[in-house]
């Protein structure tokens, strides 16, 4: 009798309890996987995670390896390695550089040497021929027509010889880049460089000097090596633009015969075509503060196909190239949830 009364009392209390409480007490706990991915909403979370390649695989897919520099190419030469080359210009790897080096070696040096020897010879002749001992009575000559004509025409002739290639070189250095030139913008900061690629997605590479230990480990000259290089295609016209964010800097690479100021608020540009692949070193050439001597420039010229691969690895894209297969197809919309069964 007592059990029957307790059972009736429990049934009466259950009738007044909220339905949610009864359901929670009656239903067993749902599995976590089923709650995270209900039926009809697409692949389970575990399958999605398996479809995503791990970061290690993405890093292993990288094909770009910084090019090893060639000793004596694109860099200063020490006196111990080559005494003659250490006293003249570096070998040139651009058309303007080759022309300028030819002008220096074939025109300027012979002309300057000849003029210097001529002046020295005339000076010695005058000292010996017209001293007081040989001429106790001073000459009263006031002018000589032949000498006047010679020392007027001869300098004009020399200046013409020098002026023609000089003006030619000046004009070539300010030639307008063609429309299809690859644009690279070099921005000077205190005290490092940034290289942006507006034709390839406008990404930027920030370049800082390596310390001595890292440079030696990489087999590069100390105070010229950097962690990130300015990578460009070889044999292709380049539109190099320079500017600065703080003070005036100067972008200079001697082996490419290239130097241009980087001025805040101003965009300078010049044409450059690098004749062959290689690593070419330069430095800021405008006094820009305490660490002016520690902002080197490294230009790495790659074959165009390798340059295109490097651009892709930086997250950029080649102009006019079709997007990659993974990026071409838009993301598939999530599957619609299954319709609830009719009550």
What tokens were used for 182?
């690859």
Which residue do the tokens 């890093």 mark?
59
* DSSP conformational letter for 263: -
Q: What is the pLDDT of residue 124?
A: 96
- What are the residues whose beta carbons fall under 8 Å from the beta carbon of 294, sequence distance 6 or more? 191, 209, 223
Interior angle at CA 40, CA 38 and CA 43, nearest 5: 80
Other C-beta atoms closer than 10 Å to the C-beta of 66 total 16
Instruction: Give the mean model confidence (pLDDT) for residues 104-128.
Output: 92
CA dihedral 142, 144, 148, 150 (to 10 degrees): -150
Could you tell me the residue ranges of all domains in the chain? 91-133+145-173, 182-313
Among candidate residues 285, 286, 283, 287, the one with its CA nearest the CA of residue 295: 283
Which of 50-64, 89-103, 165-179 bottoms out in mean pLDDT, i.e. has the lowest? 50-64
Query: pLDDT-derived band of residue 34, with 50, 70 and 90 as boundaries?
Result: very low
Q: What is the pLDDT of residue 96?
A: 94
Q: Write down the CATH number for the domain with range 182-313.
A: 2.60.40.420
Beta strands in 174-286 (DSSP E): 182-189, 192-197, 203-207, 230-233, 238-244, 249-253, 258-262, 268-272, 278-284
Considering 9-23, 152-166, 240-254, the range whose residues carry the highest mean pLDDT is 240-254
Residue 44 has pLDDT above 70, yes or no: no
Among candidate residues 326, 329, 335, 333, the one with its CA nearest the CA of residue 51: 326
Query: pLDDT-derived band of residue 322, with 50, 70 and 90 as boundaries?
Result: low
Mean pLDDT of the chain: 80
User: CA–CA separation, 280 vs 255, rounded Å?
Assistant: 7
pLDDT digits over 262-279, tens only?
999 999 999 999 999 999
Q: What is the pLDDT of residue 343?
A: 35
Which of 7-11, 34-38, 209-213, 324-328 bottoms out in mean pLDDT, i.e. has the lowest? 34-38
Which of 52-56, 106-110, 194-198, 276-280 bottoms out in mean pLDDT, i.e. has the lowest? 52-56
Query: pLDDT-derived band of residue 204, with 50, 70 and 90 as boundaries?
Result: very high
Query: pLDDT-derived band of residue 80, with 50, 70 and 90 as boundaries?
Result: confident
Query: pLDDT-derived band of residue 99, with 50, 70 and 90 as boundaries?
Result: very high
Which of 173-187, 304-318, 322-336 bottoms out in mean pLDDT, i.e. has the lowest? 322-336
Cβ atoms of residues 192 and 227 within 8 Å: no
Q: What is the pLDDT of residue 278?
A: 95
* DSSP conformational letter for 284: E
Query: pLDDT-derived band of residue 3, with 50, 70 and 90 as boundaries?
Result: low
pLDDT digits over 145-188, tens only?
998 999 899 999 999 989 999 999 999 998 999 999 999 999 99
What tokens were used for 332?
């598939």
């Amino acid at each position: 009798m007592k059990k029957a009364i307790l059972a009736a009392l429990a049934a009466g209390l259950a009738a007044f309890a909220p339905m949610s409480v009864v359901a929670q007490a009656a239903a067993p706990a749902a599995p976590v996987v089923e709650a995270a991915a209900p039926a009809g909403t697409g692949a389970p979370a575990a399958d999605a995670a398996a479809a995503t390649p791990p970061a290690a695989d993405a890093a292993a897919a990288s094909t770009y390896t910084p090019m090893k520099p060639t000793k004596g190419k694109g860099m200063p030469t020490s006196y111990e390695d080559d005494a003659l080359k250490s006293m003249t210009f570096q070998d040139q790897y651009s058309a303007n550089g080759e022309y300028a080096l030819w002008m220096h070696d074939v025109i300027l040096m012979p002309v300057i040497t000849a003029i210097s020897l001529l002046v020295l010879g005339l000076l010695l002749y005058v000292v010996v021929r017209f001293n007081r001992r040989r001429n106790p009575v001073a000459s009263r000559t006031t002018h000589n027509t032949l000498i006047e004509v010679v020392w007027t025409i001869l300098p004009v002739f020399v200046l013409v010889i020098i002026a023609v290639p000089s003006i030619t070189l000046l004009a070539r250095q300010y030639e307008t880049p063609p429309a299809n030139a690859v644009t690279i913008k070099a921005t000077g900061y205190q005290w490092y460089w940034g290289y942006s690629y507006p034709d390839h997605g406008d990404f930027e590479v920030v370049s800082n000097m390596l310390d001595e230990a890292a440079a030696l480990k990489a087999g590069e000259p100390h105070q010229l090596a950097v962690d990130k290089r300015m990578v460009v295609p070889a044999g292709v016209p380049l539109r190099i633009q320079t500017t600065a964010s703080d003070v005036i800097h100067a972008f200079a690479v001697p082996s490419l015969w290239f130097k241009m100021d980087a001025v805040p608020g101003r965009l300078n540009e010049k044409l450059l075509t690098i004749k062959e692949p290689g690593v070419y070193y330069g430095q800021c050439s405008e006094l820009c503060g305490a660490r002016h001597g520690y902002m080197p420039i490294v230009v790495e010229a790659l074959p165009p196909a390798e340059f295109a691969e490097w651009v892709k690895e930086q997250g950029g894209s080649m102009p006019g190239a079709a997007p990659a297969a993974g990026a071409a197809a838009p993301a598939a919309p999530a599957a619609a949830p299954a319709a609830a069964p009719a009550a």
